[in-house]
Amino acid sequence: MKIIPTPLEGVVLIEPKVFGDERGYFFESFSAPRFEEQVCRTTFVQDNESRSRYGVLRGLHFQKGKYAQSKLVRVVRGTVLDVAVDIRRGSPTFGKWFAAELSEENKLQLFIPRGFAHGFAVLSEEALFQYKCDNLYAPAEEGSIAWNDPDLAIDWRLDPSEVILSEKDRHHPTLREAPYLFDYNENLYE
């Protein structure tokens, strides 16, 4: 696998080596020893999958405190714009975001470490999205940032009139209003 750094410390794109022939293709989507050697040391404990239609935007989400999660995300079918936002107060890139198009064609994965909010928007007719988490989901410890925070000014590559949100995702605070954020100097992996 090829590790591609991003402008956000710890957030990396992962490009797998794909072997294709007339039968189809094969690639290794995850290897714990390689991941630890090339990205970071963490243990994934939960796999999730969602299916969404064009215009669905999920985010920006994170888990608080000791429930913080790293995510390794990929698209099995379709295309999404995947976004990570640095929400670590004191970080040189606090409030900055990185976006990557993930698709069944490019087979890219994005690793989002603890201390970042995450969201994605579906750009294809439908998308099947899978992700690994290194901490179990704790509903009472959810944190969130508004997808349309004007200070972040994320280009979701969708017309705002086409965006489909859950009721919960309609009411998130802006980064400035967020009651909980991370501290850049805090070790989130202890």
Q: Which domains does the chain have, with CATH numbers?
A: 43-183 (2.60.120.10)
Angle at 134 between CA 152 and CA 104, to 5 degrees: 65
Two tokens at 169? 């995702």
Per-residue confidence band for 1, with pLDDT thresholds at 50, 70 and 90: confident
As a whole number of angstroms, the distance between CA 104 and CA 184 comes to 34
More confident residue, 88 or 1: 88
Q: Has residue 18 got a pLDDT over 90?
A: no
As a whole number of angstroms, the distance between CA 113 and CA 63 comes to 11
Report the 10 Å Cβ neighbour count for 180: 13
Q: Has residue 32 got a pLDDT over 90?
A: no
Tell me which DSSP letter residue 146 carries: -
Query: Contact, 64 vs 143, CB < 8 A?
Result: yes
User: What is the per-residue pLDDT across 109-137, written as a single tens digit (0 to 9) for each?
Assistant: 999 999 999 999 999 999 999 999 999 99
Q: Has residue 28 got a pLDDT over 90?
A: no
Residues serving a catalytic function are 61, 131
Tell me which DSSP letter residue 32 carries: H
